[in-house]
Structure 1
């Protein structure tokens, strides 16, 4: 695996995603500004994104990729397929249950966790509940995307997984452009359309990665959900990463809770956040994503010199 080429691939698509994300924020700012609909949309989008960043992309990936690489190196494709199927089944059942509970108790979650400050504005509160319910299935899609990305990365295929986030921005930009061209009269309509666009983009990202995995001649089936030793091991390894990542995500959530007390503050913070995400995603995340499967494979082969070499090249 060529670390430089892999990091360049991931970095290139991440750069595209960040640039399009910036364009997306410009369009949202132009259409919604820092008004109540913008606040409601960003507060609603933060909740599934919090779980996605905490569990799906952070803790899950850091635990799944090394275990999957170990199964692939030690037992071949058949053993890796069995492990991936076990994890897929566990993920789907767990996330469906979580999504069902979240949809039922969403008013409580909004009033106590997502945006307590909106309780004084019934219209804004109800809109936030609606938008969060529409977007929450995005968590299910992105958790499965994270798993399939780990599979592809373990095979040294980085392009599809790196391109997937671009789809979110393309879908939302297209939705906003359509709203602009056809002159939607209500900001509430635009916010609702964007929420559905988020959900649709998650399904499209999952479809893209399913096709990419099939092209590697690697199939993942749906097994009876069980807490097998491998799944238990995955959960045990994910706990430290979830704990570490949870500190950042909880801080962001607390910031949103405080910002919800003032009109326009959540949208303003989101627009500011987009600026620093550009260099972070292009440099840090690109190298980290490319490095993890390479290091996992070398550790499995007990190639410590190779591990040190890969780490040194990444730092350079």
Structure 2
């Protein structure tokens, strides 16, 4: 069983890696065509709106509430058809609302934009928001695949979004940024359609889908939903707190110097790579496993599993944080510095990236520990923790912006505030998990050895950095000479 979990983690991580590699290609092209200024800020705001609600209603609250209730449901087909129909209607109406009042919603998400910028951004917001409808259905069908221990398709399908932007880039010109924005926006919506089609093809013969169809035919789709909606409501509060924090970062950045939203976006994209590749991939495959142990009253097995997962995840995230911080500028230069993205933009993004990486370990570990709360149906507690973290992040952001005099450094304070809130999230989740239980999972001798090893690794990485960079330059120049 341990080998199966590791296999699922590798499969899920490979799917996420494919998506993230294409995501980096997408961001390289966005940096090339839009740079870090007005047009890139507009696109990221337009993209953030469906992403914000997707992470609340789809990947966040929905995912955390659906699977535990799905496992408990006696009539799984009836339960699924009720959830799909009711939520699809709600999301559809919401998309129509945003389409008709796009200027109002754009102003909420980018309060610092002037009216002229709002007028440019609002039609793009209306287009991009339809991505939410399709991605909700993708998340719903993806949850069914996860229940069957099939993780690759859902993790890989996000690559279709990135691929759509890459393909759209072949039809645009960097001297026509407004036209580029529309091409990228329509590509976003079409990618949602492509992801939905892929899931429908894979699920064609799935027994849960057959049970859903049978429930419709027999007109027996009625089932109790009270428990699900109770968990979902609290899940919405928890997920919305995390996403509101991200939204507030964008809103606050809209008041700062031009390009601040873009610096946060580009740095966060790099930060999200190890977080998704290791923390999210591991938690996705761990959740069904923890649920199964707790449902069978095998808490000791669940704790042993958590111990192995914590050690594995901590090492991966610490190494990622160290490498990312030491090579932050080089990473930003390699990925983004071309076209309209300048060297000064790389420097600003690199500092923001370091501020985010400080919180990588606590962000990842709290995701793993929060699974315990969701498995125990403590969504309300998780929501309360998340809102306190939101309040801490907001207060820190305001304080940094007020006390930091240099306009170029204020955006770093916004990113660092997010990392500070991550430490609170981790501490609060440990408290709910149980300090005694948590420290019982830790071998302090092993931790000491790991810390020593990481200090040596950091020193070697820092001292060999000039030689490694010279080697890459030599390889690049040689390759360029051959061409």
TM-score by length of 2: 0.59
**Aligned 1:1-316 pairs, distance under 5 A:** 2-71=4-73, 75=74, 79-111=75-107, 113-120=108-115, 122=116, 124-176=117-169, 178-179=170-171, 183=173, 185-219=175-209, 220-221=212-213, 230-261=224-255, 262-316=257-311
Q: Which 5+ residue runs of structure 2 have no aligned equivalent?
A: 312-483
Q: Give the direction of change, closer, same or farther, for the CA distance of 1:259–1:96 in structure 2 (3 Å limit).
A: same
Question: Corresponding residue for 2:428?
Answer: none
- Measure the CA separation in 1 of the matches of 2:49 and 2:222: 30
Q: Is the 8 A contact 2:33 2:174 kept in 1?
A: no
List per-residue Cα deviations over 1:283-310 (Å, max 9, x = no partner).
1000100011222233333343443343
After TM superposition, the runs of 4+ consecutive aligned structure 1 residues lying more than 6 A away are none
Q: Give the direction of change, closer, same or farther, for the CA distance of 1:223–1:118 in structure 2 (3 Å limit).
A: farther
Q: Is the 8 A contact 1:70 1:296 kept in 2?
A: no
- Measure the CA separation in 1 of the matches of 2:238 and 2:111: 25
Q: CA deviation at 1:223?
A: 5.7
Residue 302 of structure 1 aligns to a residue whose secondary structure is: coil
Q: Give the direction of change, closer, same or farther, for the CA distance of 1:299–1:43 in structure 2 (3 Å limit).
A: same
Q: CA deviation at 1:12?
A: 1.2
- Measure the CA separation in 2 of the matches of 1:197 and 1:9: 27
Q: Give the direction of change, closer, same or farther, for the CA distance of 1:145–1:308 in structure 2 (3 Å limit).
A: same
TM-score by length of 1: 0.89
Q: Give the direction of change, closer, same or farther, for the CA distance of 1:230–1:143 in structure 2 (3 Å limit).
A: farther
Q: Give the direction of change, closer, same or farther, for the CA distance of 1:223–1:253 in structure 2 (3 Å limit).
A: farther
Comparing 295-304 and 16-25, the one that deviates more: 295-304
Q: CA deviation at 1:211?
A: 1.5
- Measure the CA separation in 2 of the matches of 1:50 and 1:223: 32
Residue 263 of structure 1 aligns to a residue whose secondary structure is: coil
CA RMSD, aligned part only?
2.1
Q: Is the 8 A contact 2:78 2:222 kept in 1?
A: no
Q: Is the 8 A contact 2:164 2:191 kept in 1?
A: yes
Q: CA deviation at 1:106?
A: 1.4
List per-residue Cα deviations over 1:243-287 (Å, max 9, x = no partner).
222222112111211222342221221111111111100110001
**Bigger Rg over Cα:** 2
Count the aligned residue pairs: 302
Q: Give the direction of change, closer, same or farther, for the CA distance of 1:215–1:223 in structure 2 (3 Å limit).
A: closer
- Measure the CA separation in 1 of the matches of 2:222 and 2:162: 37
Q: Which 5+ residue runs of structure 1 have no aligned equivalent?
A: none
